[in-house]
Structure formats: C-alpha cells, structure tokens
Amino acid sequence: MIRYRHTISLFIKKHLLALVVLLSGLMFIDGGENKMDFSLSDFDSELIVEKEGKNLHISGNVFNDGVRTEEVGYQLEVERTGVSGVASTSQSGVIEVEGGEKSKISGTSINAAKGDTCRLKLIIRNELEEITSTSRLVITIK
C-alpha cells in the first residue's frame, strides 16, 4: 500500500491560533464584544493506492485539522497511460468531516499493466469552493 499525505505546517496553525487568542483577550480587556467568527479549519488530503494483481485500488482520506465539522467537496482524477492507450476516470462528491478527524472518500479501481504510468490527483474544496488541498502522485507499474 502506498500512502501520500499533503500536510500544511502545524507550526503556522499554532501561531495563528495563539494570535487569535491574544486578540480575543485584548478585545475582552478593552470592553469590546468578543465576536470573532472565522474558521481555523484546514484540510489535508491523502491518496491511498493498493495493488492487487493487475488492479490498482485508489481512494483517499480528507483530514480536517480545524475544530468544527465542515462539508467539503472532493474530486479524484485517475489517468493511466500505457501501450494500450490512455484511460481516465474521475469521481467527485461532498462529504462532512468532523473537526480533528479524517473521512474516507469513495474509491475507484483501474487495470494497470507493467510499464503503465498512472497519474492520480485528489482535490479538496471548502464550502466556498476554494481549493484547500491537492495531492498528486505518479506511479509507474513495474
């Protein structure tokens, strides 16, 4: 099994959270209303490839590094190139991912022979349709 995970620096997230807590505290001390409402959610993705005979089973996980449950869209694209030509497939959907958790997306299977090259791409979009994570992997079957 091959796993590839695209990660965003936890260091940056921790410092951003510390800044938000500091600003919230200052607003409270100054008597201001504490109404900071924005999401610290970030999403990471992981491609999962399992080889069984001549078949590749491809799926992925979405990680919600934020604190609240959010709905995300995903698109899984697979392209196989070999002596028999080019074949491609894609799947997309919407899933709900709880804060601090991971969720598995639907998968697909392709037939791949020795010498074939497979290009995989997993795109994650937030509720505003902004791309928040992209994982890519190129595999040559040996």
Residue ranges of domains in the chain:
2-6+41-140
H/E element, 15: helix 10-29
When pLDDT is cut at 50, 70 and 90, the band that residue 98 belongs to is very high
Contact assessment for residue 134 and residue 121, using Cβ atoms and an 8 Å cutoff: yes
Residue 24: burial class (beta carbons within 10 Å; 0-12, 13-18, 19+): middle
pLDDT for 40: 42
User: Under CATH, to which class is 2-6+41-140 assigned?
Assistant: mainly beta
Contact assessment for residue 34 and residue 72, using Cβ atoms and an 8 Å cutoff: no
pLDDT for 88: 94
- Look at residue 8 and tell me whether its pLDDT is greater than 60: no
Contact assessment for residue 41 and residue 68, using Cβ atoms and an 8 Å cutoff: yes
- Look up residue 28 and give its two tokens: 């409270």
Distance CA 49, CA 57 (A): 6
Residue 93: burial class (beta carbons within 10 Å; 0-12, 13-18, 19+): exposed
pLDDT for 95: 94
Say what percent of the chain tops pLDDT 70: 71
Q: In terms of pTM, does the model score above 0.85?
A: no
pLDDT for 21: 47
Q: If DSSP codes are grouped into helix, strand and coil, which group holds residue 29?
A: helix
Nearest to 84 by CA among 116, 38, 108, 122: 116
Average pLDDT of every residue of the chain:
78
Q: What is the pLDDT of residues 30-79, one digit of tens each?
A: 443 333 334 445 888 999 999 888 889 999 999 998 888 999 999 999 99
pLDDT for 54: 87
